[in-house]
Structure 1
Amino acid sequence: MGEKAMGPLFLFLTVLFFVGSQSCPEVCRCVAKKKYGRHIADCSYKELREVPLGLPSNATTLTLSVNHITVLRGDSFEDLFDLQALWLSYNEISNIAKGSFAFLVQLRAIDLSHNRITDFPWGDLSNLTALQQLKLSSNLLEKVPADAFHTLKDLRSLWLSDNRLTVLSEGTFDSMPRLSLLQINHNPWNCSCKIWWLKTWLENTSVSIPEKESITCAAPERRKGLIFGRSLSMDCMRPSVQVVYHSHLGRGILHGGLSVLLHCTAMGTPPPEIRWKIQTSSQNVAISGANVEEGGNSLADTTSKHSKRVPFLVFKNGSMVISEFNKADEGIYTCQAQNDAGSQEDSVSISLASSESLADQPQKNIQDSKPQNKSCYPKSEEKIVVIYLSPVLPKTSSSGATGHELWPWAALLVSFLLALSC
């Protein structure tokens, strides 16, 4: 081959070499296993105090284990879009910036065990939908958000052992259908009703839970050291709740206008707390606890002569009075009962409607329209209470003349409509 032909060929091979090559920090060892499509950057055991610069952008595996790294910055893994495995165990990491892992969308495994992490950027996990293995064991984590793993549909292994976890929110693991291995041992679990759901979940799950005998109670004192298993007795019951509508009020509490009484019956162990939620076309209101004294006086500020009407009066027994009910008060009224074992809610939808056709119907108490079979209740969203405004009725006077009068509010006809019959 002539010298002229060699020139272009040499130039082509030189360009190809530089295009295909990637930089590698001097302290690391970079290896390409083209047969398997893997590019490994090994920076372990190098006494590193931070993530080195100049990492190859085509790396699929990055090993930084057994160093002295303390901080992960937001740009520590910048441009490593092909990264599938990240090993960071046995460092001194205590600070992880939000976004450090957010763009590693190809990541399948990450090991952050044996560090000093107290605050993990849980939001970064929402982008890591390909993640299959997550190791956070042997850190200083005190809590895990309820939705921390909600996008990790493909996660198989999760290590949370040897941390400072005392409770976990119910449903923490429900969004991971492929989870097959979970380690939560050696945590100071608070074996109150807040974690009763986890005891039940551990007893029924098919997920492998190694070292179950090391899942023990640290509190309360009477359960300290007990193994978190079937033999652990916990007197807990999730709340049950039902909203009942009453057609009239006792006298002496409220005066004038149409008033509606709802009563929330809730049972559970420990005794649940009641919270009312009101959703109308113009407002969303949440009321925790009573806002009315035992004597029926509102706890709202009434010192001003121009004080506004207080439409929702909640009593300690769970009852709510909607005073002077009007069109603006139409909406969904929900009673939520919550204790350490869980929460439950029941709702009723209340509307006002005028009906001239009701003039010929007899007066009827709401209790007569309830189903007699107490075990038959509609679903919460199927309860509808329609309050009909009474029409003007003709009345014959003693002299034979015809006059008109309004039914008083206590004689209003109230219908309880159930979308599904028993």
Structure 2
Amino acid sequence: MDEFLLSRIQFAANITFHILFPTITISLGWMLFFFKLRFRQTGDDKWMDLYFYFTKVFALTFSLGVVTGVTMSFQFGTNWPGFMNTVGNIAGPLLAYEILTAFFMEATFLGIMLYAFRRVPQWLHTLATFLVALGTTFSAFWILVLNSWMHTPDGYVMIDGVAHAEDWWKIIFNPSMPYRFTHTLLGSVLTAAFLIAGLLGYRWLRGDRSDAVRAGMKCALVLAAIAAPLQGIAGDLHGVNTREYQPAKLAAMEAHWESGKGIPLLLFAIPDEEKGENEVEVGIPKLGSLIITRDPDGYVQGLNDFGELRPRVAPVFWSFRVMIGVGMLMIGVAFLGVFFHWKKIDYPRVYVRVLCLMTFSGWVGTIAGWYVTEMGRQPWLVQGVLLSKDAVADLPPAHVAWTLTGYILTYCILMVAYVATLFYMARVETKKTLGEV
């Protein structure tokens, strides 16, 4: 493998690991704020039990998100200097806005939220929780502004091969940004909801049937039942936007090679990159055109229209279906949980086991969706502006291979430690509740 492929794998490994943590903290911060408000409204200690427990989860997750984010940003200089050389006039300010409006806010008020519950007035502690949650959302906003601009660049002008800002309003609110931001936030809501439900379900299976556990599971499942269908709607609208601005990506998502009208929705396919066709495919006639164009006879571009400027099909095609499959599973599990509440039925043990198995299901959906987004943009680093191969550093492949190996080993160790710590904290809380410690 050459330095280009190794650098791509290295950045993909880093972003894959990094995105796991912000996708939890963005929405978990707002859940903590909700728990705190409920305590102030009712005076019921179960809400503070939930608050204190998930504050620990938040702190652990936030710290890993910060560390992995820093190492990821280093690679812009070490492995991808062509990116900042070409679009640094736009990417640099956007990253700076994220630090100024989000990271400083989180860093300032996180200490109050974590350590000052009994040291400051309650209104200030509640405000600190709100500002930390707001900071995580601001952070997501600016990062997604940059990412969306890389997919649908607008408001810039090229001078001597370098992008210069012409209209910051168009840069920030570029054509795909509202859809990507909404889709990502709803994905975060689902990730945090199933994390909460899964960890509390683990405590439930170990005998903790306290009011806090019951209330937390109910909140998480109701939230998931609301967010999951909304995510389907947001994803559909995002797909329509992709048809207009990134038709090659959409064609890869659906494994459609030839342009035409009344295309099917492929449920299964084995794409053949060399032949430019599918060896095997199973689909529903005309449903693809209906979903994409709102017309069963609508015209859709195929991959062969784009020549070599198209993404690899199989990874995008299958990642998209993994994301959809996880989303449908989330809808079913969340709706079943709400049904149990509505009928006032105690959770069956097998259902709680399913919740435990789905603790990190949001991660699966998030990674699959991110792969669709990023691999579907290839071979462009910035759509229509900068090819990925033109941005990579000229490094010895062996050096990249060694750093890639170091990253992967470190991430594997951190991941095992993180998951083990979450369930260890759940066991400790259960013992406290049952009076065993």
Q: Greater strand share, 1 or 2?
A: 1
Instruction: Tell me the TM-score range normalised by the shorter chain.
Output: under 0.3
Task: Give the TM-score normalised by the residue count of structure 1.
Answer: 0.17
Rg: which structure is higher?
Answer: 1
Q: Greater helix share, 1 or 2?
A: 2
Task: Give the TM-score normalised by the residue count of structure 2.
Answer: 0.17
